[in-house]
Amino acid sequence: MNLDLSAHAEWRREASTLLLRYQVHNPLALPVLLFDRRWDHDLDAVDRDWMEVFLDGGRAVLIRGHLPPPDGVVATEYPIPYGRRLEPGATHITELCLPLPLLEDSLWMSLQRPPMGPDEPREVEVERVDLHLGWCVLRGTEGLPEESREPVELSGERMHRLDGALIAAAQQTAATVIAIGPLPLRRFAGGVA
């Protein structure tokens, strides 16, 4: 069984922003953790608007969840999302205001993609946006490391901080499609966003 995820997006052309509102409902009998918050060391705060953005064909893929290092990459420290608890039967509504054009960017992109060629278009239009939200069932705290058993309070929200390997093993993804195009997206150029 999966979470119920729905999303609505509104393109505010005059403000060059994309207002993205998504709602996630937990129909399960157990609480779940939503991996849609991440600590930003530059801001010294939780970044509520954080997401990974990829261009895949003619669509933008927005990911809020844990992306482990690619195969062959050893990383001892990298940003890991916090898990917000969603109780059985509960619903969270999240609203994000994203600047346009969307910037294709990901933690590991510079390791996975060669630099763009001089003739490749830097900015493209997408007709569709896919939103992916990482989550996992919280089956109690006994199996969690000691430091993860109790939630921490950050920026007014109670969240669990889990190890990246633990998230990678347990994370599932809820996804929804938002047809709003054409929408501008600036491609990753290789080292420079």
Question: What is the structure's pLDDT at 177?
Answer: 87
Q: Is 66 exposed, middle or buried (0-12, 13-18, 19+ CB in 10 A)?
A: buried
Q: List pLDDT tens digits, range 113-124.
A: 666 677 777 788
Q: List pLDDT tens digits, range 67-109.
A: 887 787 777 777 788 889 899 999 999 988 888 888 888 777 6
Q: Report the share of the chain in percent with pLDDT over 90.
A: 13
Q: What is the reported pTM? A: 0.82
Residue 15: DSSP 8-state: G
If DSSP codes are grouped into helix, strand and coil, which group holds residue 127?
Answer: strand
Please give the Cα distance from 180 to 127 (Å, whole number).
Answer: 6
Question: What is the structure's pLDDT at 54?
Answer: 86
pLDDT score of 191 more than 60: no
**Would you tell me how many other CB atoms lie within 10 Å of the CB of residue 19?**
14
Q: List pLDDT tens digits, range 159-175.
A: 888 777 778 888 888 88
Please give the Cα distance from 86 to 108 (Å, whole number).
Answer: 28
Question: What is the structure's pLDDT at 190?
Answer: 66
